[in-house]
Amino acid sequence: MLLELAADLPYTPGDHVGVFACNRQELVDGVLSRLQTTTDPDEPVELQVQKETHTSNGVLKTWEPHERLPPCTIRILFSRFLDITTPPTPNLLQHFASIATDPEDQRRLTLLATESAAYEDWRHWRIPHLLEVLEEFPSVHPSPALLAAQLTPLQPRFYSISSSPIVQSGQIHITVAVVSYRTQDGEGPVHYGVCSNYLRDANEGDDINLFVRSAQSFYLPPDVSRPVIMVGPGTGIAPFRGFWQHRMAQLHAAAGGQVFGKMWLFFGCRQHALDLYREEKARMLEEGVLAKVYLALSREPTIPKTYVQDLLRKEAAAVYQKIVIEGGHFYVCGDCTMAEHVYQMLKLIIQEHGGMLDSEVESYMLTLRDENRYHEDIFGI
């Protein structure tokens, strides 16, 4: 996905972009329809919090603007600033129990708020967002002010930048997996990830609020002659697309005689059809930007299950050569389970090919990190 920048926003490949999303309109409308309020949801309001100061003349009570929620309409508050999709906490359920008018709603809400086993079962089965809770307990009509004060702020979501500021000047590209799933063991309603769906549904010309967060420990080597091995299955490929774009620009701009280390990419996905940036990778191979591209397919019917770590193992001697002998940099991006498998595989490769004892390889792996040659960009479980 391409984000056109309205202002200069410097970044380096490897950095993350933080995106402020909006909650889905039908969730916001549903929540608003269940609030107890006479205020027009499109009138500007300011949430104020009562502060108590102890003075020599007694307790002084003052109303002060909420520290994190700006003056805006109730609709914008629930759309942009409040998290309405994370399952409500026991504290919030206790508040709902206190305002429920139906005794059965009161009883069940009190049970959920006070019995942790009942709460956990309910939460794991239904993974309920705020609207579903208000639908399950229809006699609960919270006041917008009290509800807003109890909900946590909607957090920005981070994406690894998939572009180079030299090549895609004035733009940031990202590679986003759209999250949606059914609750209740796949039998319940569909839930949509807030930000990935917000981005998917965005139209050309829409304003998207974002910022850049630097990730200096995940940059390309300052010494361009060092080999680079990149391992990123699925959306883990995201930062590497920025890397190869950047390297392409460096190659084009280079003076003759400048030596660039080889770049190898290990990508993995379930099936051929899910291969990301297939044509671009082929072009990068042709142009010599990428020296090798490996594809691990884990669910292709005609091929034995293969993961990125299996391909690393197949190329063990060359991986050892690039990382240990030539002092290369190793990058891994994606979920933490995969990253752990990849780490263990690299360790095994180095131990076997270097003829090292357990203690020696442990210390070598620490050195790799100390020398900033082992880089991780981990997201997801």
Alpha-carbon distance of 320 to 327, in angstroms, equals 10
* In the complex, minimum distance from the CB of residue 64 to ligand FAD, in angstroms, rounded to a whole number: 31
Alpha-carbon distance of 318 to 229, in angstroms, equals 11
Alpha-carbon distance of 87 to 105, in angstroms, equals 17
Residue 75, classed as helix, strand or coil, is helix
Kindly provide the b/e burial profile for residues 102-132, where b requires at least 16 CB atoms within 10 angstroms of the residue's own CB: eeebbebbbebbeeeeebeebeeebbbbbbb
Q: Which stretch binds ligand FAD (CB under 6 A): 129-137, 173-181, 254-262, 306-314?
A: 173-181
Binding string to ligand FAD for residues 219 to 258, with x set by CB under 6 A, is what? Answer: ----------------x--x--------------------
Q: Which stretch binds ligand FAD (CB under 6 A): 41-49, 88-96, 174-182, 243-251?
A: 174-182
* In the complex, minimum distance from the CB of residue 137 to ligand FAD, in angstroms, rounded to a whole number: 22
- The DSSP result for 17-51, as a single string, is EEEE----HHHHHHHHHTS---S-TTSEE--EEEE
Structure-token pair, residue 225: 């002659």
Strand 209-213 relative to strand 228-231, pairing: unpaired
**Residue closer to ligand FAD, measured from CB, 241 or 322:** 241
Q: Which stretch binds ligand FAD (CB under 6 A): 71-79, 189-197, 314-322, 360-368?
A: 189-197
175 Cβ contact list (under 8 Å, min separation 6): 1, 159, 160, 162, 235, 237, 238, 241, 276
Size of interface with ligand FAD, in residues (CB under 6 A): 20
Candidate list 131, 194, 228, 296; residue touching ligand FAD; CB under 6 A: 194
Binding string to ligand FAD for residues 61 to 100, with x set by CB under 6 A, is what? Answer: ------------------------x---------------
**Residue closer to ligand FAD, measured from CB, 158 or 244:** 158
CB-count exposure of residue 364 (10 Å: 0-12, 13-18, 19+): middle
* In the complex, minimum distance from the CB of residue 58 to ligand FAD, in angstroms, rounded to a whole number: 46
Q: Strand pairing partners for 158?
A: 18
Binding string to ligand FAD for residues 130 to 169, with x set by CB under 6 A, is what? Answer: ---------------------------xxxx---------
**Residue closer to ligand FAD, measured from CB, 78 or 158:** 158
Q: Is 289 in the site for ligand FAD (CB under 6 A)?
A: no
Cα-Cα-Cα-Cα dihedral sign, residues 53, 56, 59, 60: negative
Residue type, position 80, single letter = R
* In the complex, minimum distance from the CB of residue 196 to ligand FAD, in angstroms, rounded to a whole number: 3
CB 195 within 8 A of CB 18: no
Phi, psi of 253 (to 5 degrees): -85, -10
Q: Is 125 in the site for ligand FAD (CB under 6 A)?
A: no
Residue number with the smallest Cβ distance to ligand FAD: 193
**Residue closer to ligand FAD, measured from CB, 156 or 327:** 156
**Residue closer to ligand FAD, measured from CB, 179 or 251:** 179
Phi, psi of 73 (to 5 degrees): -80, 160
Candidate list 23, 163, 168, 196; residue touching ligand FAD; CB under 6 A: 196
Q: Is 379 in the site for ligand FAD (CB under 6 A)?
A: yes
- By CB under 6 A, name the binding residues for ligand FAD: 16, 85, 127, 157-160, 175-177, 179, 181, 193-197, 235, 238, 379
